[in-house]
Amino acid sequence: MKPTNGALATEPARVRADKDADAGLPLTRDDRANLLRYMAMMRFAEERGLTLYRQGKVPGSFYDGRGQEAIPVGSAYALGPRDRMCILHRDLGAHFVRGVTPDRYLANYMGRAGGVTGGKDGNMHFGDRRLGCVGMVSMLPDMALVATGMALAFKHRGEPRVALTYFGEGSTANGQWHEAMNFAGVHRLPVVFILENNRFAYSTPNELEFAVDPVERARTYGFPGVAVDGNDVEAVFERTRDAVERARAGGGPTLIECHTMRMHGHGAHDDMSYVPPEMFEEWKGRDPIERYQARLVDDFGFERAEVDAILDEVRAYVAECAERALASPMPAPETAFEGVFAEEWEPLGDGHAPWSRWQAAAAAKEAA
C-alpha cells in the first residue's frame, strides 16, 4: 500500500467555524434545491458522457470530477452575474451554474458543432464567453494568472467584481502558481482561488507533491488561506461567499483549500490502481450528493419524495440533453481555418447567478 497523507485525508486542516455565515446572505429552500439539482446534473451528465465515451462517441479521452461535485457547485453558486470564472476540468457543475446546458457539454465532448467550442477544443477545455467564463488550457495552473489579470482590470476600474478560478493541489507545485499568488497578493486583487485537494495529481500522492500544505502558504503571499470540507456543498458555498464578499469589498484574494477525493481515475483510461482500497471506501461514504440529500431531509425539512422528484427531473433533463447532443452535426471541416485572429474585441457576457440573493437583486432592479 502506498503511503498517503492520513491527516489531510481524513480531517480538513482548518475548517472555519460556521459563526460568520452571514445571516444577511443566507440560502433559501429554493437555493438548497438548486444546489442538489446542479450537483446531480454534474453527476448524471458525466455518467452519460462516460457512457458515450465507452460507446465510441467521444474521440480522445474522457475526464470527470466524480466525487468533487460540491466544490464547483457550492463555489460558483456564490458568484454574481458580473463576476468572472476560469473553470477547470473537475468543475463541470460550475459551468452548469453559470448557464451552460448539458447538451452543449456533451456535444463538446463529442466534437460536435453544437459543443461550446464548436469542435475547436475538446473535453473540458471550454468556457462560454457569453456566460462570463474563460476556458482552461491544459497547462496548469495557467488560468490562475488569467483570473488574476481579470481581477486586475476590476480593481483598476474600481468595480465591485470578483474573478474566481480553480486548480488542483498538483498545480501548486508549478512556478506559475507562485507567480499568480504573489501577483494577486502584491496588488490585493479581487480574486478567489479554489484549491481542490483531491489527494492525487494523476497518480502522485500529496506527500510527493509538497512538504507544506499549500493552504499554509497563503499567508506568505499576504492573504488568508482557509480549508473546508470539499464534500459539503454548503460549507464550500459559505467559504466562497465569504471570500467573494471580502474580495468585492477590496480585501484582496483568498485561497480556499477544499478537501475531497477524486472518485474516478485521472481519465477514463486510469484504473486508479495507486489508490489504497480502504481510502477509496472511506471517501465513498462521504459522497457529497448522498450527504446533501440526507441533510436536506434531516435538517432542512425536505420530504424524501421531494428530493427524489428533483433527482428524477434532473435525470430526465440530462437524458433529453444527451439526445440533443447526439443530434448535433459534426463541424464543417472549413471551420478549422476560421478564427485564428480576432477582428475586434468584445466583452464577455454575464453569467447566470441562480443564488436567491442575485435573483432578488435582479427582480428589484426589474421592478425599479
Partner 1 sequence: MAEAQLTSDEPAPAVEAQAPATRELTYLEAISEALREEMRRDETVICMGEDIGAFGGAFKVTDGFYEEFGAARVIDTPLAENAIIGTAVGAAIEGLRPVCEMQFADFISCGFDQLVNVAAKLHYRQGIAVPIVVRLPSGGGFSGGPFHSQNPEAWFLQAPGLKVVAPATAADAKGLLISAIRDPNPVCFLEHKGLYRTVRDEVPAGEHAVPLGKARVAREGSELTVIAYGSSVHLALRAAEELGEGIEVIDLRSLCPMDTEAILASVRKTSKVLVAHEATRSCGVGAEVSALIAEHAFEYLDAPVRRLTAPDVPIPFSPPLEQAVLPQLDDMKEACDELLRY
> In terms of CB distance, is 128 or 234 closer to partner 1?
128
Closest CA to 180 of 141, 235, 134, 206: 141
> In terms of CB distance, is 170 or 205 closer to partner 1?
170
Least distance from C-beta 204 to partner 1, angstroms?
21
Least distance from C-beta 148 to partner 1, angstroms?
5
> In terms of CB distance, is 1 or 340 closer to partner 1?
340
Please report, as ranges, the residues that interact with partner 1 according to CB under 8 A.
84, 116-117, 120-121, 125-129, 134-135, 137-139, 142-154, 156-157, 163, 175-176, 178-180, 182-183, 186, 339-348
CA dist., res. 133 & res. 323, Å (int) = 25
Least distance from C-beta 313 to partner 1, angstroms?
31
> In terms of CB distance, is 303 or 338 closer to partner 1?
338
Least distance from C-beta 8 to partner 1, angstroms?
28
CB 133 within 8 A of CB 87: yes
Least distance from C-beta 150 to partner 1, angstroms?
4
> CA of 22: how far to CAs of 235, 242, 255, 323, in Å?
13, 8, 19, 42
Q: What share of the chain is helix, strand, coil (3-state, %, to 5)?
A: 50, 10, 40
3-class SS of residue 185: helix
Which residues, including other chains, have CB under 8 Å from residue 12's CB and lie 6 or more apart?
Answer: 227, 228, 229, 257, 259
> In terms of CB distance, is 211 or 342 closer to partner 1?
342
DSSP H or E run through 239: helix 233-248
CB 203 within 8 A of CB 1: no
- The amino acid at residue 30 is D
CA atoms 122, 338, 147, 163: torsion sign: negative
Least distance from C-beta 153 to partner 1, angstroms?
4
Closest CA to 79 of 62, 64, 93: 93
> In terms of CB distance, is 151 or 244 closer to partner 1?
151
Least distance from C-beta 248 to partner 1, angstroms?
15
> In terms of CB distance, is 146 or 353 closer to partner 1?
146
